[in-house]
Structure 1
Amino acid sequence: MKEKAFLHNLITICILLLLLAPLTVQSQKKKKDKKGETTEIKKDSTDSKKGKKYSDLVKKGTVKKGLFNVIQVKTDVYFEIQDSLFQREFLVVNKLSQVPFQVNEAGLNKGMNYENKIISFYKDTIAKKVWVKSYVPKVSSPKEDAITQSVQNNFAESIIEVFDIETKNNDSTAVVIKVNKVFDGKQKSFNDVLSNIGFGGSVKSDLSYIEGLKSFPKNIVVKSQLTTSVSEGGPALSVTLGVTSNIVLLDKTPMKPRFSDKRIGFFTEKHWYFADAQQAMLEKELITRWRLEPKKEDEERYLKGELVEPKKPIVYYIDPSTPKQWRKYIIDGVHDWQAAFEKAGFKNAVIAKEPTEQDLDFDIDDVRYSVITYAASPKSNAMGPSVVDPRSGEIIEADIIWWHNVMTSLQSWMRIQTGPIDPKARGNTFSDEHMGEAIRFVSSHEVGHTFGLKHNMGSSFAYDVESLRSKEFTAKMGGTAPSIMDYARYNYVAQPEDNVTVITPKIGEYDKYAIEWGYRWYGPNENETLKLNTLITKHQNDPIYFYGEQQENIIDPRSQSEDLGNDAVKASEYGLKNLKRVVDNILSWTYDKDQSYYETGKLYIGTIGQWQMYNRHVLNNIGGVYLNETVHGDNKQSYVPVPAAMQKRATDYLAKNVITIPQWLFFNDILDKTNPLKDSPLGPYEYTPYTLSRELQYGVMYDLFSDDRLLRMTENELYQRNKTKDPVFTVNDLFKKMHQSVFAGTIQNKSLSILERMTQKNYVDVLIVSTNKLFEKTDAKKLLDIQQTLNMPHLCGYLDDAHMARNINQSSLKRVTEVTSDKKGELNKILQLLKTKKSTGDISTQNHYRDLIQRIDKALNNTTF
């Protein structure tokens, strides 16, 4: 019995010890710290599936603390995501940070932002995974409305990636995931660089790797080297791209949006609004702008009209690779906007500076820094894109890309447009000071884009052409247009005797007005919409504040690129006078002993390009329509045809300066030394004067008789004659003037020169080709590609193509419009004239007439010849 009792007691004790074991272990986790306080010794967390220990990862690797703790173990990269960050919204921002020769040559450079997307992380404890979802943040509805459930179901998130949970941190408040696959090119979910830059294909994972990582309180920076293979008809080439992915934590509450008004030019983000009370969905556009607000303690002073410093100024850093002689001018171009922001109530709102030793974390590719990036490239351009929170339109960061060769464009503009009135703008090389002022102008223009401002191509129309010849007026207004966001370049109107010295574009009154409208802060008790509308109404009848949207196909001739003043004919006539002076001096301005005539040929083709630009400025007035953004109650007309008198003058200008090829431009002493030269991938490309003049003249004629232009003239004739007694310039008027000019020598029984025969062939061919095109049994969208042989260089022409100009349908069913009859009628008229005159003139002229008769006969299916 005693043995049984002892055994029973022993078993009881063992059971009690087993039951008390957890408590014993727990008690062993307690220890005294240095202060004598009891703390808990944490146990390593282990994932049952993977078997990884958090402490092992930390011990074996390096840890960078920040938004996510980033753990790197050899080549493996892990994110430690806190529970508080799940279901928060992040913006992934992808940029190029390094490119090889082949990509540079294609026009892609460091600093370019090629892809952004919003993502959220979701923790799945059952499947032990982290799901990543993305959505398009362009739809809203009130939380309490019944329709909100439908909005959530019809605009749901999409799963773009999944990660296994590798382990948890010690207190289980965060999970750890391995993220290599989304940054080393194996997966495209976070970064699809090849598709977004137009390469296509896939990344070679064995030739790609994660280069470096940084973690900060509100963003993660991951740099990678991604390699692909490119083949274009030859052997495959390996191309390695340096890319940087930023993962940025967005604010829980987005910035209060400001809705766009088409009477003022801001970039926008489209947004759809649903609500129970609606009878239709509401679509609005949010302007893109920085979150500029007064400090809490300054709000009252600000609302009283005092200038205050913003809570967070807009800061731009100058890329350390920028040549030192240009940095000051780029910084000055940024600071020139201070006056505009003062109009909005903020002082010291815009700052530009070079990074210093105090900027310990400075990295061009980090989205916390807005940088003016200097790109070593043969490309001649500059542009100013921004990274935007699509939920609200808030600009988070800006990247101005400044290509080294932009100075070639600046030099070309200045020599051709201002050389006759400014001796500093004549040589093959400018002084640093003169080039610096041009760089300052481009800096201001591109920075304007990063504030959200679009091109205002209609600004230059505000100034009377004669005013641009006034020394007093130009000095007072400080530029060539009321907005630096216009493509109003240098003052080509002013003549040498005018002694005008202020000839460079500068920030103007429209720019200050636009910044005030976009950035003035309003208190919670103010009616923001009313105040913004009042500001526009106050200025709506003053042409200085006119906004003219950039157009792909010019309908409104007020809003054109590179033009000056309110009268294209007069401005172009002044421009031609100066252009003749340039041509007379090309050989002397480009003289450089023992050097080739390369610079001469380049300057020569630039002057021809300027001549063609003047032609198009004038041309677009014919059949043009002034497009006004109108609202109820403003008593304005939305569509106003260009006055008939202006259209007649424009036609006469073309007859004088295009139909009659200018001999001084195309046939002069320069040809004894060089042809016009244009750079090409194979080296300088030469154009002979006969070929070049023929192509450029043809391009003007084809545009002049485009179907859309003639249809607008027909519409104007139909509407205006029924509405007013104002004279109308008709399609028949246009053909009559052109016919008389093109066939003047024929009507007078003269022998025709080579250029006169060329002009007649161009005219007839334009009518034949464009008429036949109406009856082609091909895709209705197919267009005859008339290549413009040369163009003056442009800046940032890529911007906002999706929002460019207004879409007006005048092109459907062209076959049954008057255009067909008008063009065929003109061909028949020419045919009858040529049959009458076919035996007049010399043998070359007669051969020419017979050729044209055969061409027209064939086109009209006429067999009487």
Structure 2
Amino acid sequence: MREKALLQNYKTIYILFLFLLLSVSSYSQKKNKKANNTEIAKDSTASKKGKKYNDLIKDGTVKKGLFNIIEVKTDLYFEIQDSLFNREFLVVNKLSQVPFQVNDAGLNKGMNYENKIISFYKDAVAKKVWVKSYVPKVSSPKEDAITTSVANNFSESIIEFFDIETKNNDSTSVVIKVNKIFDGKQKSFNDVLSNIGFGGSVKSDLSYIEGAKSFPKNIVVKSQLTTSVSEGGPSLSVTLGVTSNIILLDKVPMKPRFSDNRIGYFTEKHWYFNDAQHAMMEKELITRWRLEPKKEDQEKYLRGELVEPLKPIVYYIDPSTPKQWRQYIIDGVHDWQIAFERAGFKNAIIAKEPTEADLDFDIDDVRYSVITYAASQKANAMGPSVVDPRSGEIIEADIIWWHNVMTSLHSWMRIQTGAIDPKARGNKFSDEHMGEAIRFVSSHEVGHTFGLKHNMGSSFAYDVESLRSKDFTEKMGGTAPSIMDYARYNYVAQPEDNVTAITPKIGEYDKYAIDWGYRWYPEEENETNKLNALISKHQNDPIYFYGEQQDGASTIDPRSQSEDLGNDAVKASEYGLKNLKRVVNNILEWTYEKDDTYYETGKLYIGTIGQWQLYNRHVLNNIGGVYLNAIVHGDNKQSYIPVAALTQNNATDYLIKNVLTIPEWLFFNPILDKTNPLKDSPVGPYEYTPYTLSRELQYSILYDLFSDERLMRMTENELYQRNGSKENIFTVNNLFKKVHQHVFAPTILNKSLSILERMTQKNYVDVLIVSTNKLFEKTDAKKIIDIQQTLAMPNLCNQLNESQMARNINQSSLKRVSEITSDKKGELNKVLQLLEMKKNTGNQSTKNHYLDLIQRIKKALTTTL
């Protein structure tokens, strides 16, 4: 028992010992844990006191601004103040350097390729900074119930995150490392390759951050990003210089101004929701600068006195611009002063060269609107803008001026005005003459940066005969009421008219449009009523007409065409042809350079052919044309007005005379003893023989003349006779009858056909076959497009892509069961019957031709039955 009790005591002591041991161990762990927590707390405190932060900035370089930028060797950090979290920023990405391969593809320094709105959010628990983006095109009143639904149905998306590296000494900002968004590892902020159409991915080991700057309201980061491009050959390394701007947007956006389709401004679409609605409201906000009078000048402004704006619009000239052109470009900008004075502002726009006073000037910095000069073979210029999509406010403008735009100007002036202006004839113009052309282009492109779209209908306001008047052209100052039209140079005026005002200028429409878009109204005034009253005041005056740009391949309204002049395309083109004959007769003399090749001769020659085709298309688009008017309730206007039958009849006669009868003065002349028409190509000058070129160009006009869309518009107009008189309707049958009678006139008279007459008949029949037989359509349609691109007159602003914004009208659905199918087959049968009767008349070449056509038509009709 005693041993048993002793054993029990030992067990008790052992258990107590174990308990004590465990207690000590537990105490030790708690003590260690407490010590560790103390150390962690110490570390945290140390961090708060700035030890880690101080180490970071001690090892690096700090640039203070919107975000403090900390550069430590190759690492880049942003220090973001707490006050900037949840604010809205605009990311703007631009090209700042391009290699040959990209330049050759039409991409150049200064081009803006990607914008997005972002916000930074601090997550203290996860110790991260989240970056979210959204599309700022939806609004609702804060107090409305639907606003909760709007927030949930149009929410932000997370595009990036950053670990919080440290805090500043007073914990009012956090530091994040941002290398990955600028060195090509992540596409969240900058997806350059996708946006410029290259695809693929950035090679991060061949890419790096070049530098960064911080300013009070924006950050600028420059990178060198490399990818490889392969187009059927060995891979090429391509490095792009990229500049990313991060701009702090105002908490309260600019008050928007809503668009009106009777006046031409670029727009941003916006959806509006509120509780009182029965349906969502969609509106478009015009893009414009925030131009307003200083507070102390508001009363003067409202009294009608001219005042200087609180913040003028300033453009800087790229220092790489050749010196002889700088003042002309500046003058082109300042020519708009008169338009802004109409809106109540003086000295509203400034153009200047950067000076030593502009210490921070950087061409890629969005604080500076720059007219960037691009060394490139491209012949173009364009004027896009950076816009706050929340309000339509233009933040900055980027005019890209390609060096070779002068080749386009030289071509236009030489061909359109050489007959009346001796200064516009040589292989090289004087700097003064070229400078005036540069001034005109500067004004046009700057107009886009004010938010103005092309007004292709402006030139229709002037009577054609008035363009031959010296007094009228000097009074009106150019070729159209708007410099935003593509009304180039006065090709209508004849040598005996002595007209000298032949260059487009800022016109009455331009002043009116700036007044409508930029006049300042106090918050309490009813702005909409004032703006509507301004339009109503001028709605019946053609000088103030706005004609939206159309797709050149499917023009509906012939008033709004590129490169045309006056209100009568037939008359204007006839005058144009008279001058064009004078140019052709002098091409050899004007391009003469001793011991030089005939390259300039061939280039000018093909340019004149392109101008001839331009006139043909101006006339063509009147046939089956419809005037499209932007109307509102109460203005008593018609929305759709068919072009008058007499105009369409005259247009058809013009094409018969000048296209279906090939002009031998243009295609078969002494120039061919020296050179064919020449067009530049990647492999050198490309020659076009006159027979092939005339055949293809004639074919393209015939193809478009009998296009399904055109004939269906004519059928629509015939069906909807507004006044009940067939005399005022030019029908599809009228068109076929006139063309048939001309094309087959020598056949009806049993004559032998010349090569050009056989060519015209073949073109006409083939056009009808292509339209009715899908087996043929694939082989010829692309060629038509290609030849049109080859001879198209040079255009500006083609990156703006306005044609996609033009009015869309469905006129060609279910074509196979429309009247046009019957009309075309009926014409083919009519031709077949005639040829069967005449197949044994004429010489052998004529007989062979008839048998060929008979076989083609029979095959086509059999295939389409």
Does the alignment reach a TM-score above 0.5? yes
Deviations 1:696-728 (A, max 9, x none): 001000000000000000000000167556521
The 5 A counterparts of 1:57-456 are: 57-456=56-455
SS in 1 for 2:350: strand
The 3 A distance-change label for structure 1 pair 588 and 832 is same
Deviations 1:664-717 (A, max 9, x none): 000000000000000000000000000000110010000000000000000000
What TM-score, normalized by structure 2, do the two folds share? 0.93
CA distance in 1, matches of 2:718, 2:756: 34
Counterpart of 2:629 in structure 1 is 628
2:696 and 2:784 in contact (8 A); partners too = no
The 5 A counterparts of 1:498-509 are: 498-509=497-508
How far apart are 1:800 and its partner, in Å? 4.2
CA RMSD of aligned residues (A): 2.0
2:773 and 2:864 in contact (8 A); partners too = no
SS in 1 for 2:773: helix
1:651 and 1:734 in contact (8 A); partners too = yes
Amino acid at match of 2:356: E
Amino acid at match of 1:210: I
The 3 A distance-change label for structure 1 pair 518 and 410 is same
SS in 2 for 1:680: coil
Deviations 1:470-502 (A, max 9, x none): 000000000000000000000000000000000
How far apart are 1:44 and its partner, in Å? 4.7
Deviations 1:444-482 (A, max 9, x none): 000000000000000000000000000000000000000
Counterpart of 2:675 in structure 1 is 674
Amino acid at match of 1:73: V
SS in 1 for 2:209: strand
Counterpart of 2:47 in structure 1 is 45
Amino acid at match of 2:859: K
CA distance in 2, matches of 1:724, 1:461: 27
The 3 A distance-change label for structure 1 pair 448 and 862 is closer
Deviations 1:296-355 (A, max 9, x none): 000000000000000000000000000000000000000000000000000000000000
SS in 2 for 1:596: coil
Amino acid at match of 2:593: D
1:720 and 1:726 in contact (8 A); partners too = no
1:99 and 1:240 in contact (8 A); partners too = yes
SS in 2 for 1:352: strand
CA distance in 1, matches of 2:310, 2:526: 22
Q: Are 1:665 and 2:666 matched, yes or no? A: yes
1:441 and 1:506 in contact (8 A); partners too = yes
SS in 2 for 1:442: helix
Counterpart of 2:15 in structure 1 is none
Amino acid at match of 2:754: S
SS in 2 for 1:143: coil
Amino acid at match of 1:813: L
SS in 2 for 1:717: helix
How far apart are 1:773 and its partner, in Å? 3.4
Counterpart of 1:577 in structure 2 is 578
Amino acid at match of 1:45: S
Counterpart of 1:762 in structure 2 is 763
Counterpart of 2:24 in structure 1 is none
Counterpart of 2:527 in structure 1 is 528
How far apart are 1:113 and its partner, in Å? 0.1
Deviations 1:168-195 (A, max 9, x none): 0000000000000000000000000000
Counterpart of 2:17 in structure 1 is none
**Structure 2, unaligned stretches of length 5 or more?**
1-30
2:48 and 2:171 in contact (8 A); partners too = no
2:95 and 2:112 in contact (8 A); partners too = yes
How far apart are 1:797 and its partner, in Å? 2.1
Counterpart of 2:848 in structure 1 is 847
The 5 A counterparts of 1:607-622 are: 607-622=608-623
How many percent of aligned residue pairs carry the same amino acid?
Answer: 85
The 3 A distance-change label for structure 1 pair 732 and 297 is same
How far apart are 1:804 and its partner, in Å? 2.3
2:549 and 2:802 in contact (8 A); partners too = no
Counterpart of 1:10 in structure 2 is none
CA distance in 1, matches of 2:395, 2:220: 15
Deviations 1:776-833 (A, max 9, x none): 8x9xx99985641411100012324375211101111101000100000000000000
Amino acid at match of 1:166: E
Counterpart of 1:567 in structure 2 is 568
The 3 A distance-change label for structure 1 pair 662 and 732 is same
CA distance in 1, matches of 2:583, 2:783: 36
Amino acid at match of 2:773: N
Counterpart of 1:557 in structure 2 is 558
How far apart are 1:525 and its partner, in Å? 2.4
How far apart are 1:289 and its partner, in Å? 0.1
1:344 and 1:515 in contact (8 A); partners too = yes
Counterpart of 1:479 in structure 2 is 478
The 3 A distance-change label for structure 1 pair 782 and 748 is closer
The 3 A distance-change label for structure 1 pair 397 and 862 is closer
SS in 1 for 2:147: helix
Counterpart of 1:37 in structure 2 is none
Counterpart of 1:717 in structure 2 is 718
CA distance in 2, matches of 1:213, 1:179: 11
CA distance in 2, matches of 1:523, 1:123: 38
Amino acid at match of 1:532: L
2:48 and 2:170 in contact (8 A); partners too = no
How far apart are 1:83 and its partner, in Å? 0.3
The 5 A counterparts of 1:12-51 are: 44-45=46-47
SS in 1 for 2:320: coil
Counterpart of 2:826 in structure 1 is 825
CA distance in 2, matches of 1:849, 1:54: 91
CA distance in 1, matches of 2:400, 2:156: 33
SS in 2 for 1:436: helix
CA distance in 2, matches of 1:802, 1:289: 21
How far apart are 1:524 and its partner, in Å? 2.1
SS in 2 for 1:53: helix
CA distance in 2, matches of 1:726, 1:252: 63
1:318 and 1:327 in contact (8 A); partners too = yes
1:202 and 1:228 in contact (8 A); partners too = yes
Amino acid at match of 2:697: L
1:43 and 1:170 in contact (8 A); partners too = no
CA distance in 2, matches of 1:519, 1:722: 42
How far apart are 1:609 and its partner, in Å? 0.1
SS in 2 for 1:484: coil
The 3 A distance-change label for structure 1 pair 146 and 136 is same
CA distance in 2, matches of 1:46, 1:411: 67
Counterpart of 1:34 in structure 2 is none
CA distance in 1, matches of 2:71, 2:422: 61
2:80 and 2:173 in contact (8 A); partners too = yes
The 3 A distance-change label for structure 1 pair 800 and 533 is farther
Counterpart of 2:746 in structure 1 is 745
1:699 and 1:786 in contact (8 A); partners too = no
CA distance in 1, matches of 2:468, 2:206: 62
1:774 and 1:815 in contact (8 A); partners too = no
Indicate the larger mover: 713-722 or 274-283: 713-722
What TM-score, normalized by structure 1, do the two folds share? 0.93
